[in-house]
Structures are given as C-alpha cells and as structure tokens.
Structure 1
Amino acid sequence: MEITLNKKKGTEGSINIKLGEADYQMQVEKKLGDYAKKASIKGFRPGKVPAGVVKKMFGKSILVEEINHILSHKLNDYIKEQNLKILGEPLPNLEKSRLIDWDNQKDFEFEYEIGIVEDFKYELSDKVKVKSYPIELDKKIVDDTLEDLRKRFGKVEYPETSAIGDNVYGDLREKDGEFKREYGFIATDKVVKKEQKTFVGLKKEDEVEFDITKIFDDLSLTANLLGVSEDEAKKMKGTFVLKINTISRTEPAEVNQELFDRVFGKDTVKDEEEFINKIKETVGENYKRETQHFLEHHIEDYYIKNTSINLPEAFLKKWLQATSEGKVTEEMIEKEFDQYKRSIVWDLVRNKIAEDHKIVVDGNEVKGRAKEMIISQFGGPAIAEQLGDRLDAIADNYLQNENGKNFMNLYSQLRNDKIMKLIRETIKVDEKKVSVDEFKKVVEEHTH
C-alpha cells in the first residue's frame, strides 16, 4: 500500500492511495470463506457450497466492500497521522473510479480531493476592543413585569362584551385582499391609545375593522397578530377584519403569598419587598443574557474581520454541491457562500481557542444544563420542588432522546459558553449603559 499527499496549492490538494493484491486478498478470502459456511444456495447443502461458486456469485461485491472498508480506515488514519486540518470530507475522484475493471484488475489506485486549512493566528488579549450595551433596569420595567405576572396568574373570565384590558380572539382576514388567518389575537391594552375604542363593546360574532398599520406601536405585535415575520409584517397595509369568537378577561392576582409561591416556588420569598427584589433580579438576569448575546455578536464580528484564514473555496463549493444530493445548485451556493464562509471562519477560530486553552466539557456539566433547562421550561423553581428526585431521571431521558442529539446540542452550548467566557474575560469590553428602547434600536441597526 502506498499513500501520498499532493498539494495543488496551500489550501487544496489530493490524497492518493495505491492498493496491491496483498493489501486486500487475505480479508477477501476470509469473507468468501464466511459466506461459504453460511450461504444457502439451491442444489448445495448448507455449509457445503464450493468456494468457486461462492466466488463467482459474491466475489466482486465482497472485493468492492472490503476495499472500501480499507480505504475508509486508511484515509482517516493518514489524515490523523499527518495532522492534516481539513474542511468537509475527502471527495473521491469519481472519474477515475469509473474506469476500474473490478473483474480483472489486481492493483488499484484511488484519489481523494481535500480542502486544507493552513495554520493561522488570532489575537486574544486586551488589544481586542469591542462594545457592549448593558440594559439599565428602571421602575417602569419592574412595574410592568409585576402587572404581567398578576395577569398571568390571575383568574380568567369570559365576558359577553369587551372592554379595555380584555383579549379578543377570532378569524382574521384582509378586507380587500387574499390574506386569511383562522386564529387572530389582540390584547386591547397593547393597542395604541387612540385606537383602543375600536375594540370596546364587541360581542361574539361581531366584526371589527382596523388599519393594520395603526393599531400597534410595536411591530412584533403586528407580526404576532398576522402570524408572520416582522419583515413580512412591515409590508402589510390596509384594512383588516377580525370576526370575534372569544373574549377573555383576566382578574389580576392579589399580591400575596399565594402569588409569591406560584411564581418563585413555595416560601422562596415571604413578603412583597422580597417579591419585588426577586422580580428585579430575574428581569435583570434576562436583560443581562440579552446584553451578553449581543456582545457575542460583536465578538464574532471582530474575529471574522480581523483573523486572516485562507479557505479552500473552490473545494468547499464543490463539496457542498456533491454532498447536497442534488438539492443545492451552483447558483444557490454562490448566493449563500459569503455567509457560509463567515460561519466556517468563526468555527475555526473558536475551535483553535478551545484547543489552545484546553477547554473541555464533561458529562455532569451537560446533565446539569439539561436540569436547568427543564426547570426553566416547566415553571421555574417551583417545578423543581415538585419533581424532586425524578428530575435526574427526566434529564437523563431527555439527553438520550433524538439518538443523542440533545446531548450534543447542550454539549456544544456549554463549550461555546466556556469559549466566550474566556474571550470576554481576556479582551477589553467598552460598556455603554442604555435603556430597553435604546438597546432595541442598537440591535436593529446592527448588521453582519
């Protein structure tokens, strides 16, 4: 056997593998023997099929199978031994493979195209400067959160006639267009003040007309009503009609121990002052996550723009099309390739940082993250108390589902968190405190 690397240029090349009869013959003969023992062929007793018959019937397929097995292992071993950093997977030269005469050849030669990543350097020090926008927590945010919690845990009634503060549900349609949606929902207290009277005094089966561009100040509310993205919601104009089928009204919950326990778990807080402080802490953590997520975008931008990495672009385009099973065209690849390159560069930088700084994640950390996620999704601290020891079993079951994909997803999240923590603690982060509205504006203006 002979394996050679041929570099066409810095980032692209090929691996050639030559096989002689001695490299595969023993394994092929063994497989033929195994087939002879197990084969059930008409005219022969089980286990008594002559070797020549087995070879004639199965010889070629066994030869192809065994050579592919050898190639797969030797190719991977060679890449590891030579410490080749490749992107994608090696692509076999199909033109050469088609010329093989499996019936008569004894010696074989195979070629695999590869895309190589050359070594690169990145900057990880206080010379790197990025901006962060921490959100300041004001009284209005806390008050609004308290009111939302009171409504969420309040008593729901279904009045015959709507008033401000009620939620109205129904079939939504465009008056002079084709848009229809079976389920539409409007929280009347979210409607702009001068338009709220439109939604007062409505009864079941009533139809109410409104200008879709005028009822909300927040585009996300328009998008939710229509069931479309915010970009699509921007394009919607004209009069819409909602035919009412349900009206709901929530009597806000009393601010007492029952509410404290339902929100944060039994006896976690014991009076209104502790409750408000816990709300501040929780909302503050939520805003901190938003700030941190946006900071990570700035960090990603910095490293993509300031890290020089030569990519095997021609190979990657070919590999993307070859592995798409006909679903991706050259035109599609050209259109999306810049975004794809961005993703590759960022992955390469993160992986190198993790490798250089020996960042690892163990199984206990993954299970801990799974438990945190389950608690968050099913009601917060209160659910943890109810589940007790069963939480461990639920977490184990979750991690084993989807053939281990859930485990790998959380593993990747934890690994990324550790990498980003190292970066944040090493570089210089310039902070500018902003309000919620200012933060939304900065995010909206930010582009990759």
Structure 2
Amino acid sequence: MEIKLDKHSANEASIKINLIEADYQPKVDAKLKDYAKKANIKGFRPGKAPISMVKNLYGTSVLVDEINDILSSSLNEYIKEQPFRILGEPLPVVESAANIDWKNQKEFEFEYKIGFVEDVDIKLDESLEATAYSIEVDDKVMNEAIENLKKQYGKMTNPEVSEENDFLYGDLKSADGSFEKTLSLPLSKMDGRSVKKFIGVEKGAVIEFDPSKAIKTDLAEVLDMSEEEAAEISGTYTFTVQNINRTEEAQLDQEFFDKVFGPNEVSTEEEFKNKVKEIMSENYDRETKTFTEEQIKDKLVDTANIELPETFLKEWLGKANENVSEEDIAKEYPMYAKQLVWSLISNKIAKDNEIKAEHEEVIEKTKEMIREQLASSGLGAQMEDNMDMFVDNYLKGNEGQNYMQMLTSVQNEKVLGFVREKIKMKEEKISLDQFKELLAN
C-alpha cells in the first residue's frame, strides 16, 4: 500500500491511496472461505458448494467491503499522523471510483479531497483589549419594569366604554366582503389620529378605517397573518366590537408581592423594589457578560488570521447536508466559518494551557440551565427534588450530543475566563439605552 499527500494550496490537498493485490487478497480469500462454510446454495448441502461458485456469487461484494475497510482504517491512521488539523471529513473523488473494474482490476487507486489548517498560533497579552460593561439600573428603568409587572399581574375587566390602551375584540371585514376575521385589536398599536375612532365606543359599535394606515407597526402580527398577506391589506375595512378588554394594574400589596416572587419572599414595597433591582442587575450582568465574551471572540478570530479552505468546506457542507441548497450554504457560511475559527482557537488555548471541562462542571451547568427554564415557567422550587432526573435525561438525550454540547460550552467558558485574565480588560458603566445601542451596532 502507498499513501501520498498532494497539497494544492495552503489549506487544501488530496490524499491518494494505492492498493496492490497483496494488500487486500488475503483478507478477501479468508472471508470467502468463511462464506463457503456457511453458504446455503441451491443444489448443494450447506457448506458444500465449490469455492469457485461462492467466489463467483460473492467475490465482488466481499472485495468491495474489504477494500473499503482497508481504506477507512488506513486513511484515519494517516490523518492522525499529520501535523495539521483536518476540517470536516475527507471527500472521496467519485470520478476515479466510478471507473473501477472490480471483476478484473488488481491494482486500485483512490483519491480523497481534504481541507485543513496548520498549527494555530494565538498570542494572549495586553495588546488585546476588551471592555466589560455593567448596566446601571436607575429609577427610570426599575419603575418601567415594575409598571410592566403591575400590568402583567393585573386583573382583566370588560368595561362598557373603551379607553386608550384597551383591547377591542371583534370582527374585521373588508368593504368588498373578500376578507373577514375575528381578532383582538390592541389600541396601543394604532396611530394617534386613527385610535380616536376606537376610544369611547361601546359593544356593537361599527368602526370604518384603513388598517394599513391606522396600525403603526407590526401589522402582520396584530392581524395574525403572514407578511405577504398583510401586504395585501389596504383600503376600507370595518371593525365590529364584540367585547372590550382592559387590564387593571395590580396594586403594590402582599397579594401582588406573593404572585411575583412567591409567598412571603418580600413584605414591603421597599423590599419588593430591592428584589426587582437585584434580579434586573443579575439579568443584565448575564447579557453584558455574553456581549463581552462575543467581543473577545471577535478580537481573537480577527487576530488569529486563520485561513479556512472555503471551497472545500462549502462542498463538504453540501454533501453532509443533502437538503440544503448552494444558496443557503453561501448565505450561512460566514457565520459557520466564524464559529469554526473560534472552535479552533478555543481548543488550541485549552490544549496549550491544560484547560479541561470536568464531568461535575457539566452537571452543574446543566442544572443551572434547567433551573432557569423551570423558573421562567414558575415551577422552579417545587421541581428541585427531581433535578437529578431532569439532568440525567437531558444529558443522555439526542444520542449523547447534548452532553458533548454542554462539555464544549463549559470548556469555552473556562477558556474565555482564562483569556480575560491575560488580555487588557477595561470596565465601563453604561445605561440600558447605551447598551441597546451597542447591541444594535
């Protein structure tokens, strides 16, 4: 057997494997003898058919199987010995395989395309800078959050006469009768001039208007239809009011405190506000931490200057995802390439600095994730006794892929923590509006 590497560029190459008869024939003969002992061929007692007949019936399929096994093991071993990091999977050159004469050929040549990167070089020092932001939860932001909570936990009423910010439930019809739908119309979404028609009305009122002009934003969402359908909505429509729905804000009392945070967690308005501020700070800390980490990743990706084998990777992605079009691959490739480069960088830093994700850390991170999910549904505390079962079920799911994803996530967190200690980190306090501007850029 002979294996050759032919580099076409700095990150793409082909591997050619040449097999002669001595490489595969002993294994083929052994397999055919084993077949002959078990073969049940018409006209012969089991295991008594001539080896020549067995070879004629099964010889080609056995040859193909054995050569594929040899190719697979040889290719994997050869790649392991190389100093570069292979990306994706080797792609067999189909044209060369299609011309093989399996019945008569004795020597075979197989070719595989590969994409790779050479050793990744990462320099971690104070020449790299990043900013760790923290958001100030001022009174304005906190009061807005409390107002939203008061509305969220408020009581629903059905007044006789509509007011601003009510929801009107009724029938929307086009003047020509081609469209009719029953829906809930939020007056807060309507244009300042148009909404006047809907304020001070009672059940049974019929209001004439043009939805495309009256509804300021999110027309498709308000009318519960696709963007394409919403684009067709214009002209004169009528809305017949069936009911008026209004949310009366909750009062800052013990009943409200218990609904938001659980029984007897807070007992005064001051404690309630402090608890809201604490939770908001924790949530914003998570958001700013994620933003900072993405900033660090971007800087490392830019400075590493890793050149990926783009042509090879796009071809490999196409073959690995048969239902994905070339247009979709071209569109998604920049994000995939960025994630791949970061993965190479993270693995290199972890290897050089002996950073490992331990099993216990994977368990704890999974618990944190599940607690957040349960808390958002209001089931946190009562489900804690079953936490071990939830964690076990999740990590065993998706054929073990969930565990590997969590393992990678833990390692990335540890790598980013290590990087933050090595580079120059600045701290800056900003307002929520300033942070939103950063996210938008």
1:148-179 CA distances to partner (integer Å, 9 max, x unpaired)? 22333344345565433434456778999x9x
271-280 or 256-265: bigger deviation: 256-265
1:143-292 alignment to 2 at 5 Å?
143-159=143-159, 161-168=161-168, 187-188=186-187, 197-200=196-199, 201=201, 203=203, 209=209, 224-225=221-222, 243=239, 247-292=244-289
Q: Distance in 2 between matches of 1:183 and 1:136?
A: 44
Residue aligning to 1:298: 295
Q: 1:248 offset after TM fit, Å?
A: 3.5
Q: 1:279 offset after TM fit, Å?
A: 1.0
CA contact (8 A) 2:91 2:316 kept: yes
1:191-211 CA distances to partner (integer Å, 9 max, x unpaired)? 677765454336478557466
CA contact (8 A) 2:198 2:207 kept: no
Residue aligning to 1:349: 345
299-308 or 274-283: bigger deviation: 299-308
Among candidates 372, 375, 378, match of residue 379 of structure 1:
375
SS of aligned partner of 2:375: coil
Q: Does 1:19 align with 2:16?
A: no
Distance 1:123 1:328, change over 3 A: same
Residue aligning to 2:5: 5
1:316-368 CA distances to partner (integer Å, 9 max, x unpaired)? 34434444437433x66556655544343333223322332333223333333
1:274-423 alignment to 2 at 5 Å?
274-325=271-322, 327-329=324-326, 337-380=333-376, 383-423=379-419
Q: Distance in 1 between matches of 2:422 and 2:232?
A: 46
Q: Distance in 2 between matches of 1:108 and 1:139?
A: 77
1:72-111 alignment to 2 at 5 Å?
72-111=72-111
Q: Distance in 2 between matches of 1:300 and 1:133?
A: 16
Q: Distance in 1 between matches of 2:338 and 2:376?
A: 37
233-242 or 265-274: bigger deviation: 233-242
CA contact (8 A) 2:197 2:207 kept: no
Q: 1:16 offset after TM fit, Å?
A: 2.0
Q: Distance in 2 between matches of 1:191 and 1:103?
A: 77
CA contact (8 A) 1:130 1:428 kept: yes
Partner AA of 2:299 in structure 1: Y
Q: Distance in 1 between matches of 2:34 and 2:283?
A: 63
How many residues are treated as equivalent by the alignment? 438
Q: Distance in 1 between matches of 2:118 and 2:85?
A: 7
Partner AA of 2:392 in structure 1: D
CA contact (8 A) 2:168 2:244 kept: yes
CA contact (8 A) 1:131 1:430 kept: yes
RMSD over equivalenced CA pairs, Å:
3.9
Partner AA of 2:246 in structure 1: R
Q: 1:54 offset after TM fit, Å?
A: 2.9
1:413-435 CA distances to partner (integer Å, 9 max, x unpaired)? 33333333333343223444332
Q: Distance in 2 between matches of 1:17 and 1:319?
A: 20
1:217-265 CA distances to partner (integer Å, 9 max, x unpaired)? xx6x6675366999x9999996796856665433444434444444334
1:59-112 CA distances to partner (integer Å, 9 max, x unpaired)? 211221221122112211221122431122111122221222211223322121
Distance 1:417 1:193, change over 3 A: farther
CA contact (8 A) 2:84 2:118 kept: no
Partner AA of 1:108 in structure 2: F
Q: Does 1:426 align with 2:422?
A: yes
Give identity over the alignment, percent.
43
Distance 1:44 1:83, change over 3 A: farther
Residue aligning to 1:140: 140
Q: Which runs of 5+ in 2 are unaligned?
A: none
Distance 1:394 1:107, change over 3 A: same
Partner AA of 1:441 in structure 2: E
Q: Does 1:437 align with 2:433?
A: yes
Q: 1:12 offset after TM fit, Å?
A: 1.9
SS of aligned partner of 2:130: strand
204-213 or 362-371: bigger deviation: 204-213
250-259 or 52-61: bigger deviation: 250-259
SS of aligned partner of 1:9: coil
Q: 1:128 offset after TM fit, Å?
A: 1.0
CA contact (8 A) 1:264 1:380 kept: no
Q: Which has the larger radius of gyration?
A: 2
Q: 1:404 offset after TM fit, Å?
A: 3.0
CA contact (8 A) 1:170 1:242 kept: no
